[in-house]
Amino acid sequence: MRLLSFLFFSALSAFPQSGSDNESDKEFIELYLKIQALEKEIALLRNEVEVLEAQVDFYQDRSDKRLDDLDTKLLSLMSIDDLQNSPVVSTTNQTLDNYEQAIVLIQQGRLDEALGALNVFVQSSQDSTQTPLAYFWLGEIHLNKGNLSAATQNFNTLLGLYPSHWRIPLAKYKLGTIYLEEGNLERARVQFQSVIEDFPESSAAKASRESLSSLE
């Protein structure tokens, strides 16, 4: 703004003053003052937009955290059997996304349809807070159906992409059960021991200790 004023008055002083020029200069100055006022208004509006954007980001982060916390409370220790025994969510809401639809389908025992909904979700989601959970449920459904290779792939995808997610302990334990089912006892033992060492206070560690005891 100061530079604009300097250039303006420098240009103005470069021309000789006359009666007719004085009138033009007056109009020019009035125009310049109007431009200054508009620039101030634009700056104020820009500041307001930035404040609003910051508020939107803040409340979006809080909303995402609340949803994730709610999901944590609802699904923290659930297996497919647990989920199927929980109250069925109403499907009348047409705005349900593929992840929510998949959870409803699991509750209803429609696992093949749930797989389809989850696959669509992970292919289309962009770093959603539910994406790690979708990979977990893909692994869990495949494990339930006896598709050990697909289950391993999805659990490993969860571990690779979201190593700090709260579902990691249970996913690692599930991998141990897969190795056990495949007859790879040593690999299962190593996997269970890893869960115990990395997450000693978790329910997955407790289950891993029990599994290790059964191998002795």
Q: Are 131 and 122 in contact (CB under 8 A)?
A: yes
* Cβ atoms 75, 136 nearer than 8 A: no
Task: Give whole-number Cα distances, 130 to 65, 67, 189, in Å.
Answer: 11, 9, 30
Tell me the pLDDT tens digit for each residue of 37-88. Answer: 777 777 777 767 766 766 665 555 555 555 555 444 444 445 555 555 545 4
Determine the straight-line distance between the first and last CA of the chain, rounded to whole angstroms.
79
DSSP state of 86: S
What span, in angstroms and rounded, lies between the C-alpha atoms of 205 and 194?
A: 9
Helix (H) or strand (E) holding 80: helix 80-84
d(CA 131, CA 151): 16
Contact between 138 and 120 under an 8 Å Cβ cutoff? The reply is: no
142-172 pLDDT per residue, tens? 999 999 999 999 999 999 999 999 999 999 9
Token code pair at residue 95: 């705005």
| pTM of the predicted protein model | 0.59
pLDDT, tens only, 167-211: 999 999 999 999 999 999 999 999 999 999 999 998 889 999 999
Q: Which residues contact 202 (CB under 8 A, 6 or more apart)?
A: 169, 170, 195
Domain ranges of the chain: 2-74
